[in-house]
Chain A
Amino acid sequence: MSINEEKTNINQNDHEIDTLTNDRLIKDHSYDGIRELDNDLPPWWKWLFYITIIFAIIYMLGLWVFDWDSLYQEKEYNKEVAEAVKTAPKQQVQVELKVLTDASSLENGKATYDKICQVCHLLDGGGLVGPNFTDDYWIHGNSLEKMFAVVENGVIEKGMIPYKDQLPPTQRLEVISYIITLRGTIPASPKAPQGELLDWPY
């Protein structure tokens, strides 16, 4: 507060100096003993401010005047998809339908199963929402072709999702080959049989 009676403007000649920094103190600024220095804004700070303002102006012009695609998310998305279709189209390579028995394929199959299929068929294949894989009862048949078709196209009305767009054919074949190995194992709490009793073709 101003306690100096004579003048409130700062007189160049009788200002106080902060002894530690040699900066000028503002004369009538003292609040509960807190003084203020008369320093200017640091130039780098001012430049930072100006540059960000210029950035902002250009950005808004880009949106409103120049119609930059990258500022419209729908255009950006369409571009991303078009590019993906060109450079990395979803490939549905044909696989030979043959039960895989080599260790690495079965391992891959198990990995897929444990990540994706177990949420409905359970880890040990005992079945929960989806049917039990350890028994000899099958809703859609137990031939490789039939199983492959179910996994590819799903049975959406019953809650089995199509995996056509989620897993490439090789991975589907691997996971089915793994399921085939589950038959005859003893799950913790097997689901009651669903479908028909079929001969085991493998």
Chain B
Amino acid sequence: MITNLKFMALEKFTYDNKLAKNFAVATILWGVVGFLVGLIAALAILWPEVSMKLPFLTFGRLRPLHTNAAIFAFVGNSIFTGIYYSMPRLLKTPMFSQKLGKIHFWGWQLIIVLAAVTLMAGITTGKEYAELEWPIDILIAGIWVVFGWNMIATIIKRRVQHIYVAIWFYLATFVTVAVLHIVNSFELPISLFKSYSLYSGVQDALVQWWYGHNAVAFFLTTPVLGLMYYFLPKAANRPIYSYKLSIIHFWALIFLYIWAGPHHLLYSSIPDWTQALGVVFSVVLIAPSWGGMINGLLTLRGAWDKVRQDPVLKMFVVGVTSYGMSTFEGPLLSLKSVNAISHFTDWTIAHVHIGTLGWNGMMAFGMLYWLFPRFYKVKLYSTSLANTHFWLATLGMLFFAIPLYFAGFTQALMWKQFTPEGFLKYTNFLETYTQIRPMHMLRAVGGVMYLTGAGIMVYNLIKTAGAGKFVRFENDEAPAREVKPHGNETWHRRLERKPVLFTIWALVAILIGGIVEFVPMFLVKSNVPTISSVQPYTPLELEGRDIYIREGCYNCHSQMIRPFRSEVERYGEYSKSGEFIYDHPFQWGSRRTGPDLARIGVKTTKNYKPDSWHYEHLVNPQKTNIQSIMPPYPWLVENDMDIESIPKKIRAMQTLGVPYPKGYDEKAIDDLKKQAHEIASGLRASGIEVEDQKKIIALIAYMQRLGTDISKNAGSASK
């Protein structure tokens, strides 16, 4: 097409495919691991015996392991594969530094291994999708900078004049993820393996979901859109549908996304105005998101006959369509009336898996099927196996999601249903779970299908690699970039010549939303009205809370009673923002696989239980109800709590602003022992053999404290 190339002096250079290939192999490996852990988690909800009384196989630890593996290991490596392959070609230059690339690769794999080990060991910050403890957080920040440095340096030494839309998305990803990760990870370490979030309660929730939502936006969405803009037109050999649309949807997307975090906190204790911002910015996001989808799908105009034959394009089509579906559903879920039903149910899980299994998975698979024959200069080993994978993945996703939609809706309605006499129809929480259990079985079948498809891909790609020989270096040539006058280019075209300025503008765009939402929350007192009866946790309760976090209880139990008649009836007075001011971190949760625990300690609520019941239940939940799906925690009776760290923990809390009296750190251990002795004596009186210093005592103390502060006359049971 470009005929006058030959008149210009061409420079020769070489692309090194090694990094992209390594990342591709890591993508495949961690993909299979991530799906497998997901499947084990799905089975562990169905049959608690799957956990085999092993702490690291309980659902509370499997779920963070699965989400971290799927997001940061599988999708993360797939993004880096695509970036290291496409960027040099789009910029007509090798990567700036092969060595930085290597550090990035091995650093990222190290992070993944450390994440897996620590999460299984119960070392966690207790913040969803940001569970990794502070040393790993620092490592992530460092490796991320290495990645960004290499990327920006490569862009600067490019031979092309303008940067392409894929590169815009890569840049926005880099800056935004850096900002999100750093701001959300501010924590006060008390040891190598334990830290407390700098923020508490409502503020912690807001920062966390600003992060959580934008992890979806800037880790699972923008980089993958960048990949789409390279691999889809390449695979289809078609021009991008509309450059104008690229510009508008890019800027709109990154500017608007940042604001939408509070849609994860609708009807929670955050102020109404923050919730409203979350709602409206989510709704306005439909068009910018669909801009990406239509720019992808309409690029295929004129190539639909090819789509029918090529598994790569088929996967891209399902991927991009899933993207369109989840970005339509997301704004819908952000409407308060819909969220009142969907939140805390499987509806959310169904939603995220259309995004992850459909969009992220399919885009990654399509890319891998496109790349491997090019890495090895052979044809794909088997197109029909790739087609089989395509169908297994597509149907697996539907088998996964459709039952969960049904389950979410069913359970929400059961939670809300009253009898004509004004009583809750389903008083027992477990009833509402037993009802949707068959749906969870179907979900697991969907998971098996998806995993099988991935297995077939592994075989196909190994066969492909075996049939060829890895082509590490590829030569290319292009004229040097000379700074030419921009003539009468549009303002955006000019900006595309200035990648650093471009990055700065992107940074400005993504900072605005966060600042507008955070500053008032942190500075204006009326946003978190104080409640005078709310007191800091006792040392024993604090220890119990740490055990709650460590075991990952928040993965199944919420601590947020929404202001609905049905929830107040079931769980007690709805939660107030002032109740959480000493919660570093907050533990509101996102899915009620088990009942809410915000007021489990309040004696006037319907789910209050005595100490001895908590003991029996934690040791063996199936004893108190054969249908319970909660895993047993027998090690809580065997292991001692960490009494030595208590003074350090108290001092850390004081640093964070929790008003323990001066010098309390020295008295804390005595207080802890006294309270523990009281509880343990009570248990022994009812015939339970237990020692004062066992972990279970602390956890029971925490349970009995929950929610009691604002109902003082009801008191807490341990007093």
Contact = CB atoms under 8 A, between A and B. Distances in A.
A43 B238 CA distance: 23
B512 to A, nearest CB: 15
A73 B563 contact: yes
B287 A80 contact: no
Given A34-B230, A56-B283, 11 more contacts: A1-B160, A3-B4, A20-B301, A26-B243, A31-B160, A38-B244, A42-B294, A45-B245, A55-B284, A77-B574, A129-B686
Given A36-B239, A37-B243, A52 B302 contact: no
Interface residues of A, number: 70
Give the one of A41, A73, A123 with max B CB within 10 A.
Answer: A73
B625 interface: yes
B280 A59 contact: yes
Contacts of A167: 423, 427
Contacts of B303: 20
Contact of B281 (A26, A35, A39, A56): A56
A71 B479 CA distance: 59
Interface string A12-48: 0000101011000110011111111111111001001
A152 to B, nearest CB: 14
A161 interface: yes
A32 B231 CA distance: 11
Contact of B563 (A33, A40, A77, A156): A77
Nearest to B331: A52
B283 A52 contact: yes
B625 A41 contact: no
Interface stretch (A101-109, A114-122, A136-144): A114-122
Nearest to B615: A129
B284 A56 contact: yes
A90 interface: yes
Q: Which has the most chain B C-beta neighbours within 10 Å: A5, A41, A123, A156?
A: A41
20 contacts: A1-B159, A1-B162, A3-B8, A7-B487, A20-B301, A29-B162, A31-B164, A36-B242, A41-B244, A42-B245, A49-B284, A52-B286, A63-B272, A81-B565, A115-B430, A120-B613, A129-B609, A129-B612, A156-B604, A161-B608
A3 B2 contact: yes
A94 interface: no
Given A3-B5, A18-B239, A39 B245 contact: yes
B365 interface: no
Contact of A128 (B162, B244, B273, B623): B623
Contacts of A60: 276-277, 280
Contacts of A161: 606, 608
Contacts of A40: 242, 244
Contacts of B286: 48, 52
A18 B244 CA distance: 17
B193 interface: no
Contacts of A193: none
Shortest 6 CB-CB contacts between residues of A and residues of B:
A159-B610, A20-B302, A56-B280, A49-B287, A90-B422, A77-B563
A91 B252 CA distance: 54
A2 B484 contact: yes
A48 B287 contact: yes
Contacts of A9: 487-489
A128 B624 contact: yes
